[in-house]
Structure 1
Amino acid sequence: MDNLMLNNKIYLEGEVISELQFSHEMYGEGFYTFYFEVPRLSSTKDKLFVTISERLISEMEIKVGSQLIVEGQLRSYNKFINGANRLILTVFVRNIAFCEEKSRNPNQIFLDGFICKQPIYRTTPFGREISDMLLAVNRSYNKSDYIPTIAWGRNSRFCKNLEVGDNIRVWGRLQSREYQKRISDTEVMKKMAYEVSISKMEKVNKESDDPKTDETCEKADGKNQDEKQIS
């Protein structure tokens, strides 16, 4: 497998919750999108946006309620919406199958990328330590995917010493998060954000390419059980 495919891998198990919609065609190949719901250990479910080639599903009947396993990459692109550019994240599927038996960890992602904005460290009103980072993950044809990530606890403190251009590897899960944006003094709008919640991370030493690992990393969600990592 090409190295640029190894630096961005995602594995999901979940349920189709929307009809497939035609998205676009490229070199005679049609692509469709749908929303995919992946459960967490808590009662929360992540609602994720998926893009798939018609060639992968030509012999499958996929409908709302279908239980699937999807494997692929997390991609990003800019879309002009309501007068402004927005960063859209989608799971680009490379393999798909019906899910006969669910595993203990239905949401896994691995990224090997470069910090393209200075990490933002903060403490929530409840005392939780958080760091936000934007990773640039290289793709074929000189393209890059820009992936928002979030680190917690000791991982977030580890991020305070990272700089733009640092090469890091992260393991975790892709999550959706609903939030409210105030658009006037009396009106708020519900919006959805997507980000990678980091459970493990390491910095790659540029000279030797040996990873320097934060050995005391915490799980991204205190309710998560041990993860079977993809690497």
Structure 2
Amino acid sequence: MAKKYVYSCIDRANITGTVDAVEENTPFITDKFVNLIVYTSRKEPSTAKDRINVVVNKKLLGNITEGSCVKIAGAIQTKTVNGHLYIYIFAYDITEVEAGTAMDTDQLKFEGYLCKKPVLRKTPFSNRTVCDCVLAINDRGMSYYVPCICWSKNAKKMAQSAVGDKFYVSGRLQSREYVKNEKTYVINEVSVYHIDEFSFDSEDD
């Protein structure tokens, strides 16, 4: 049985999707772990899928392999290796489920501090208002720097915030491709559905 994780802050991820690959040699894991490439479907009418890294202790893996449909509970974490930021779900529990019996899910809830000035902009094609920001999750002496994108009202709210402000965030971990030097890369970021600014006055009550 997996050891129950004790949260020192809010950082919860629930993912259901299909394992596309099992990687043992990736820059952000040690020998005790594997990285699962899990694909989750976005909500209709979109047919897009998000590619998510899930780090799992080998002891929890069981018979899970490529093609397995899995349900994962964990936390969002990041690690920078050679200047590249890797974003992944660190799994505390993973269960294989029968294909077709569970809808794909991609749900994140966490608390984080704004650690650099947010950037308000318009998307190039749809001209939507968005805000790019980075939130730091501080958990048990570690800091995980999570790139986020906020939309519409959330974008304007985040753009008016100051470095050091604390937020409760709910959203999903999305992936997107970009091309650099004729090579295609995949990056992840949190698409924010809802944000609440944390009041330090309320914490003292």
2:12 to 9, 16, 23: 9
CA distance in 1, matches of 2:76, 2:53: 10
In structure 1, the partner of 2:162 is 163
Alpha-carbon displacement from aligned partner over 1:144-168 (angstroms, at most 9, x marks no partner): 1110000001110111211100000
Normalised by the length of structure 1, the TM-score is 0.78
1:97 to 95, 98, 101: 95
In structure 2, the partner of 1:151 is 150
Question: Which residue identity lines up with residue 20 of structure 2 in the other structure?
Answer: I
Kindly report which structure 2 residues correspond to 1:8-157, keeping only aligned pairs within 5 A, or say none. Answer: 8-21=11-24, 23-25=29-31, 30-41=32-43, 42-57=46-61, 60-80=62-82, 85-100=83-98, 101-103=101-103, 106-125=105-124, 126-140=126-140, 142-157=141-156
Alpha-carbon displacement from aligned partner over 1:103-127 (angstroms, at most 9, x marks no partner): 4x61100110100001110112332
Structure 1 contact 20–63 (Cα < 8 Å) conserved: no
CA distance in 2, matches of 1:70, 1:3: 16
Once the two structures are TM-superposed, the CA of residue 209 in structure 1 deviates from its matched residue by 3.1
Once the two structures are TM-superposed, the CA of residue 193 in structure 1 deviates from its matched residue by 1.3
Q: 5+ unaligned residues in a row in structure 1: which ranges?
A: 211-231
Q: How many residues align?
A: 192
In structure 1, the partner of 2:192 is 198
Q: Give 3-state SS (helix, strand or coil) of 1:24's partner.
A: coil
Structure 2 contact 22–34 (Cα < 8 Å) conserved: no
Once the two structures are TM-superposed, the CA of residue 34 in structure 1 deviates from its matched residue by 2.0
Structure 1 contact 13–99 (Cα < 8 Å) conserved: no
Normalised by the length of structure 2, the TM-score is 0.88
The RMSD of aligned alpha carbons is: 1.6
Structure 1 contact 116–135 (Cα < 8 Å) conserved: yes
Alpha-carbon displacement from aligned partner over 1:28-66 (angstroms, at most 9, x marks no partner): xx1111211111122100011111111212xx2111100
Question: Which residue identity lines up with residue 48 of structure 1 in the other structure?
Answer: I
Q: Give 3-state SS (helix, strand or coil) of 1:207's partner.
A: helix
CA distance in 2, matches of 1:7, 1:164: 20
Q: Give 3-state SS (helix, strand or coil) of 1:156's partner.
A: helix
Once the two structures are TM-superposed, the CA of residue 2 in structure 1 deviates from its matched residue by 3.4
Structure 1 contact 89–194 (Cα < 8 Å) conserved: yes
CA distance in 1, matches of 2:7, 2:95: 24
Structure 1 contact 15–37 (Cα < 8 Å) conserved: yes
CA distance in 2, matches of 1:63, 1:55: 13
Question: Which residue identity lines up with residue 196 of structure 2 in the other structure?
Answer: E
Kindly report which structure 2 residues correspond to 1:171-182, keeping only aligned pairs within 5 A, or say none. Answer: 171-181=170-180
CA distance in 1, matches of 2:6, 2:73: 16
Q: Which runs of 4+ in 1 moved over 3 A?
A: none
